């Protein structure tokens, strides 16, 4: 019954649309005739006036026609919206009657909407499958990485044990591989620097030999003729050669000119040698600075790890090159001291000696005035002194002697 009523309404609308189309067609024909009449015009009028009248009439008619067409368009749009609403309501009513449930009827979809939903569902399933495969691949890769990590951990443990066995260390204490690598880098830099110094010394020895040969081969023994310059002059020798009695009163002879040339050459060689020495000292300072920075980092790591003991207790801190060269012990004489075993590769180094600094630190520990920062500062200063001692007593870093520091002004010293 509802479909038949809907069919009747659709037929009525169809008839109305046909009628409107016929009316528009007739109106179009009438306007066409009027346009032809206007184009032909009244033959009694002149051409210009006839043309102006035709244009004005056409403009007014076009405006009227546009107004009517706009109204018709609005009316048709309103009717179209009403018809679409009626169709939607009719579909909902049919769905409710078919399913017999108002709630289920509210979830009814049209055929094209169902197709879109099915396509979206298929795409979602494909994405889920792809993500599932990716997740499985990631889990497999994670498992492989875990196995590789465990393999490298076991390998590093075995390497530490083997190194400990080879170096003859204590069985209960494994040698740190990172410390050995750091020590190896430092020793390589020192070896390279020593090789450069050896080459410089060889060149100086060759130069001195040549100068000695020239002096032996010289025939004259006078001062002017025997002034064979060795290539390295001191300040006193230069002052004597350029004094008023010698330098300013030299005659303009080939011998004096040759002496002055040899003097200039010797001065240039001396400057070059001094520059080389300064360069080597700078490299040494750089190496020592890197070494001290590594020591500070290691001590900071020990402090963060909580390996510092409380005031009054004993603790051992390694301050040498690497992890087994020298051990500086800050301890209470009433408590046992545990010394770390020395590496057999570094058996050539000197044994650590007790200094006044240890007494000062021990005094601070007993008086409960010793902090972690003070301990680290004193240890870094001891490291400076130890490095300074390795370079035959040359104060390269400019660090003052620690035995001369007192409790009064050690707090003003900033490392």
Which band of pLDDT confidence, cut at 50, 70 and 90, is reported for residue 290?
A: confident
- What is the predicted pLDDT for the residue at 118? 86
* Mean pLDDT confidence for 74-96: 85
Query: What's the CA gap between 246 and 293, in Å, rounded?
Result: 53
Higher-scoring residue by pLDDT: 124, 111: 124
pLDDT at 130: 92
Reported as a pLDDT band with limits 50, 70 and 90, residue 141 is: very high
Nearest to 329 by CA among 320, 168, 206, 125: 320
pLDDT-derived band at 254 (thresholds 50, 70, 90) equals confident
What is the predicted pLDDT for the residue at 273? 81
The full DSSP string for 249-297 is: T--S-HHHHHHHHHHHHHHHHHHHHHHHHHHHHHHHHHHHHHHHHHHHH
Contacts of 404 (CB under 8 A, 6+ apart): none
- What is the per-residue pLDDT for 39? 60
**Which candidate, 191, 192, 157, 182, places its Cα nearest to that of 324?**
182
Burial 96-110 (b: 16+ CB within 10 A, else e): beeeeeeeebeeeee
Q: How confident is the model at residue 123 (pLDDT cuts 50, 70, 90)?
A: very high
> Does the pLDDT value for residue 312 go beyond 90?
no
pLDDT of res. 126: 93
> Any idea which of 3-12, 112-121, 208-217, 307-316 has the lowest mean pLDDT?
307-316
pLDDT in tens, 327-370: 444 444 443 333 333 433 333 334 344 443 444 444 444 444 44
pLDDT score recorded for residue 1: 72
Vertex 270: Cα angle to 266 and 274 (nearest 5) = 175
Amino acid 136: pLDDT: 93
Mean pLDDT to the nearest integer, 309-338: 40
Per-residue pLDDT at 287 exceeds 60: yes
Mean predicted confidence (pLDDT) in 291-319: 62
| Whether the predicted pLDDT of 100 surpasses 80 | no
Residue 181, pLDDT score:
78
At 208 the pLDDT is 82
Minimum mean pLDDT range among 204-218, 230-244, 329-343:
329-343
Q: Cα separation of 396 and 401, whole Å? A: 12
3-state class of 136 per DSSP? helix
Q: What is the pLDDT of residue 309?
A: 42
| Number of C-beta neighbours around residue 346 at 10 A | 16
The predicted pLDDT at position 401 comes to 42
Counting residues of the chain whose pLDDT is more than 90, the rounded percentage is: 7
Instruction: Kindly report the pTM of this predicted structure.
Output: 0.29
Question: pLDDT tens digits, residue range 162-206?
Answer: 777 777 766 566 566 677 777 888 888 888 888 888 888 888 888
- pLDDT score of 132 more than 60: yes
Residue 81 has pLDDT above 50, yes or no: yes
**Residue 147 pLDDT grade (very low, low, confident, very high; cuts 50, 70, 90):** very high
More confident residue, 396 or 378: 378
Q: Which residue has the higher pLDDT, 211 or 341?
A: 211
**Token pair 């520059």: residue:** 275
| Least confident among 282-291, 294-303, 334-343, 369-378 | 334-343
Angle formed by the axes of helices 372-390 and 254-304, to 10°? 150
Can you say how many angstroms the Cα of residue 7 is from the centroid of all Cα atoms in its chain? Answer: 76
What pLDDT, on the 0 to 100 scale, is given for residue 139?
94
- Mean pLDDT (the chain) is 68
């Amino acid at each position: 019954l509802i479909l038949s009523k809907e069919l009747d309404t659709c037929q009525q609308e169809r008839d109305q649309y046909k009628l409107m189309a016929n009316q528009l067609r007739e109106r179009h024909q009438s306007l066409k005739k009027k346009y032809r009449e206007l184009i032909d015009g009244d033959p009694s009028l002149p051409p210009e006036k006839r043309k102006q009248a035709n244009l004005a009439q056409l403009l007014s008619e076009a405006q009227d026609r546009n107004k009517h067409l706009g109204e018709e368009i609005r009316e048709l749009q309103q009717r179209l919206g009403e018809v679409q609403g009626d169709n939607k309501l009719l579909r909902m009513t049919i769905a409710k009657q078919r399913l017999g449930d108002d709630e289920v009827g509210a979830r009814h979809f049209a055929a094209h909407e169902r197709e879109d939903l099915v396509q979206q569902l298929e795409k979602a399933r494909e994405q889920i499958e792809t993500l599932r495969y990716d997740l499985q691949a990631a889990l497999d890769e994670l498992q492989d990485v875990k196995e590789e990590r465990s393999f490298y951990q076991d390998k590093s443990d075995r390497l530490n044990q083997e190194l400990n066995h080879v170096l003859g260390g204590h069985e209960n204490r494994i040698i740190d591989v990172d410390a050995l690598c750091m020590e190896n880098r430092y020793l390589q830099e020192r070896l390279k620097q020593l090789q450069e110094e050896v080459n410089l010394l060889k060149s100086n020895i060759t130069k001195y030999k040549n100068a000695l040969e020239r002096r032996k081969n010289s025939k004259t023994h006078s001062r002017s003729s025997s002034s064979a310059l060795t290539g390295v002059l001191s300040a006193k020798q230069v002052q004597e050669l350029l004094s008023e009695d010698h330098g300013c009163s030299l005659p303009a002879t080939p011998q004096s000119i040759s002496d002055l040339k040899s003097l200039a050459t010797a001065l240039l060689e001396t400057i070059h040698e001094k520059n080389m020495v300064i360069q080597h000292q700078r490299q040494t300072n750089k190496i020592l600075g890197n070494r001290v920075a590594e020591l500070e980092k290691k001590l900071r790591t020990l402090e963060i790890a909580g390996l510092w003991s409380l005031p009054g207790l004993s603790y051992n801190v390694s301050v040498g090159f690497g992890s087994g060269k020298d051990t500086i012990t800050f301890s209470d004489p009433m408590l046992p001291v545990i010394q770390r075993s020395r590496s057999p590769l570094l058996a050539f180094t000197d044994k650590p000696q007790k200094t006044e600094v240890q007494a000062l630190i021990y005094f601070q520990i007993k008086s409960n005035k010793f902090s972690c920062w003070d301990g680290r500062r004193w240890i870094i200063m001891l490291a400076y002194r130890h490095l300074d001692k390795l370079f035959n007593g040359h104060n390269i870093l400019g660090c003052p002697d620690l035995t001369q520091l007192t409790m009064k002004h050690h707090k003003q010293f900033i490392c």
